[in-house]
Amino acid sequence: MAWNFAAGPARLPDMVLERAAAELFQRGADGACAIERPFTGPGFRAVLDHARQQLSTLLDLPGNYQILFLAGGAMQQFSLLPMNLCAPGQPAAYANAGYWSARAMAEAGKQAAIVEFVPPATGVWEVPANCAYCHITPNETVDGRAYSAVPDTGPVPLAADCTSSFLTAPLAVEKFGFIYASAQKNIGPAGLTVAIIRDDLLERCPADLPAPLSYRRQAEGNSCVNTPPMFAIQMAAMVFDWITEQGGLAAMAAAGQRKAALVYGAIDRSDGFYQAPVAVASRSPVNIRFHLVAPEQTEAFITEAAIAGLHHLRGHAHFGGLRASLYNAMPEDGALALASFMTDFARRYG
């Protein structure tokens, strides 16, 4: 058995790969398969409606929010968010808490004035009231760090890059103004971003934005202002079906906690052989960052792990070390195999 711990593009559910291979390329009575049909026709519209309905149900989506299926990755939203939501001259607040929140802030800085917000240890975030929104990255994929709770930013809408944590646990959508997530971790294949926006924020979108990049136009146009990334949306619908069949987001969160406990447990019981640089209260349940106390053993770890069927464990270049990503599609057996290998490796090299 081989396990893929890549941070994204990442493992997709077995059932989704099987369904995609079996369903998306079979031509029907009209001589067309699912990716060969007009996006304006009833076949694709049914898929799109199903995807939206399944996701709404999973998230228990309040009625005053719209789901958008947008082309491209989350990085594009770093710019589109201020382009859509900031009035001319209006600043936006960014909580800089890691690699990706810093990159989001840097890109947004090309479009709007940035207020770098330093979160308080506790209590309401007193974000300057003139800010268009306050941006956070609830789970930092590279740093392996997660917020333990959704902050309260008062009257300033909270905007969040939820890429690596999306659908791994129930989400209190009503606490956010705008949520976005690249597909390639928990939603489907790369090339799609899911966004969720509160209705009142759609009013802000300037009329002169490029049509496919306008949240308002995409909301009005059912995410079909132009030909959408149909294949990715069709696979996303299958992923939403799979999560539903597994028991929904509470079941994802419970399984995620069990998987994370296995790997963090192997770290914490290693007598310092493995080091987790993130404080326990901030540990990400999906991106587990660690390193060897003897860094010269890192290559041996990666090599032997691969022989044991454990792949894509090298840490992001920004920090080095090791990282294991445990998204929804990683079975507990995968986390168990990694934890067992880690314990054995520590015994042999420690």
Q: Would you tell me which residues interact with a copy of itself (CB under 8 A)? A: 1-4, 6-12, 17-18, 20-22, 24-25, 27-33, 35-39, 41, 71-76, 78-80, 107, 110-111, 182, 184, 189-192, 208-213, 225-232, 306, 309, 311-312
Question: Which of 182, 343 has the CB closer to a copy of itself?
Answer: 182
Integer angstrom CA distances of residue 302 from 273, 286, 292: 15, 19, 11
Structure-token match 């986390």, residue found: 335
- Residue 255 Cβ, how far from a copy of itself at the closest point, in Å? 18
- 252 CA to centre of own chain: 14
Q: For residue 216, how many other CB atoms are within 10 A of its CB?
A: 19
Question: Which of 39, 133 has the CB closer to a copy of itself?
Answer: 39
Question: Which of 156, 192 has the CB closer to a copy of itself?
Answer: 192
Cα(299)–Cα(303) distance, integer angstroms: 6
- Residue 96 Cβ, how far from a copy of itself at the closest point, in Å? 18
Cα(264)–Cα(30) distance, integer angstroms: 52
Question: Which of 67, 156 has the CB closer to a copy of itself?
Answer: 67
| Rg, Å, the chain Cα set | 21
Cα(324)–Cα(291) distance, integer angstroms: 11
- Residue 9 Cβ, how far from a copy of itself at the closest point, in Å? 6
Question: What is the per-residue burial (b if ≥16 Cβ within 10 Å, else e) of 236-263?
Answer: bbbbbbbbeeeebbeebbebbeebbebb
DSSP 193: E
Question: Which of 283, 323 has the CB closer to a copy of itself?
Answer: 323
**Hey, what long-range contacts does 104-107 have (CB within 8 A, 24 or more apart)?**
104/78, 104/135, 104/137, 104/161, 105/135, 107/75, 107/78, 107/79
- Residue 133 Cβ, how far from a copy of itself at the closest point, in Å? 17
- Residue 62 Cβ, how far from a copy of itself at the closest point, in Å? 29
Nearest by Cα to 237 from 41, 87, 13: 13
Contact 164, 188 (CB under 8 A): no
DSSP 314: B
- Residue 32 Cβ, how far from a copy of itself at the closest point, in Å? 4
Helix (H, G, I), strand (E, B) or coil at 144: coil
Question: Which of 41, 295 has the CB closer to a copy of itself?
Answer: 41
- Which residues does the annotation mark as catalytic? 100, 161, 185
- Residue 311 Cβ, how far from a copy of itself at the closest point, in Å? 4
Nearest by Cα to 201 from 54, 83, 107: 83
Question: Which of 71, 197 has the CB closer to a copy of itself?
Answer: 71
